Amino acid sequence: MSRKKIITSAFSNLYTDQRIEKGCSTLHENGYSIELIGNNWGGAEEMSRPYSFSRIKLISKNLKTAYFEFNWKLYHELKKKADKNTILHANDLDALLPNYLISKKLNIPLIFDSHEIFSEMPAIQGKMSQKLWRYLQKSVVPNIKYMITASSGYANWFKNQYGVDPVVVQNAPRKLDFTIEIPENNPRILLYQGVINPFRGIDKAILAMKYLDNVIFKIAGDGPKRKEYEELIIKENLQNKVEFLGKLLPEDLRKITLTADCGMSIEENGGESYFYSLPNKVLDCIQARVPLILSGLPEMQYIKNQFDVGEIIKDHQPSTIAESVNLILNKGRKNYQPELEKAANILCWENEEVKLLQVFEKASE
């Protein structure tokens, strides 16, 4: 029996979106015909994939109008490309409405993959746009038959709010055959990887460098708070202790992660989307066998309870953060290896993709 065609769509330029890349690759390798649709918001770097992809060109100059434009254009793309032999795969709330409308129109299956709780993200707290996203979520999500989300905290939240029962597919990296010699860095490396957004604890970690000797803080990524944090570094005279690496390709970032002595994922409670998140960087560091400082949010606490992969910070005071970093550096990366190895064998894409495939099998019936 030939596999159905899958149209995966997302408000993303697709370039650095590892979750979408892994999901599409898994489906492609398992015989599905994939058509991936993103957009050119934030650039349209060249990329190659073994399946078909395209980017919707947006002319909007601000994000609010870009969402409307994308949804309008995506609806017309789906209308052209979808048929009775199609499964629609919408990534996040900002691509859901056109997928939902086409799935109803053609009576074809729709899988909603919610990477976060979009309506509760810090950037839209208390804004008019939050009301609109909440309204859309409330109108559509209770009618969704097939849903995936990225953490058990998210799954419980959606279940309590809308009575749906999402399958948890964590955004874990592919298994890494860890054979490298652990470097003996001088100075030691504390690494943040990800978007430079508020509520990530980056500014607190910068200030923690005042309490850390022979340590350099490397920040891999880019984002809206970068300029503010660069100014903070100058103000506090920490230019020799903090380094911005900029936005990196996933394969280049993986190489950087392998060199760190200590990773960090010290998100603050910036609303329910952060509170219940399991940040990718936690799983990326575990796979690279790098111990981490973690905030005590539920998903990170749950991993720490199962595997001793680092230290939970007691609060976000810079001196407390420095204390936790020192605990890890004094214990040494090598001493964390047995627990990191155990965690890496369980928290990997090879275990997660099985659940992803089961959802698509059900939708194909």
Structural domain spans, the chain: 5-172+349-364, 188-346
Q: Which CATH superfamily is domain 188-346 in?
A: Glycogen Phosphorylase B; (3.40.50.2000)
Higher per-residue confidence, 125 vs 333: 333
> CB burial class (10 A; 0-12, 13-18, 19+) of residue 198?
middle
Q: What pLDDT score was predicted for residue 2?
A: 64
pLDDT band at 1 (very low <50, low <70, confident <90, very high): very low
Q: Is the dihedral of CA 168, 263, 234, 230 positive or negative?
A: negative
In the chain the beta strands, taken as DSSP E runs, fall at 5-10, 33-39, 52-56, 86-91, 110-114, 146-149, 167-168, 188-193, 215-220, 242-246, 262-265, 292-294, 310-312
Query: pTM of the predicted model, to two decimals?
Result: 0.92
Rounded CA-CA distance 73/58 in Å is: 9
pLDDT band at 45 (very low <50, low <70, confident <90, very high): confident
* Mean pLDDT of the chain, nearest integer: 95
Domains 5-172+349-364 and 188-346 share a fold: yes
Are 44 and 55 in contact by the 8 Å Cβ rule? The answer is yes
Q: Does residue 233 have a pLDDT over 90? A: yes
Q: Which CATH superfamily is domain 5-172+349-364 in?
A: Glycogen Phosphorylase B; (3.40.50.2000)
> CB burial class (10 A; 0-12, 13-18, 19+) of residue 245?
middle
Q: Does residue 268 have a pLDDT over 90? A: yes
Q: What pLDDT score was predicted for residue 70?
A: 98
Mean pLDDT of 105-132: 92
Q: Does residue 16 have a pLDDT over 80? A: no
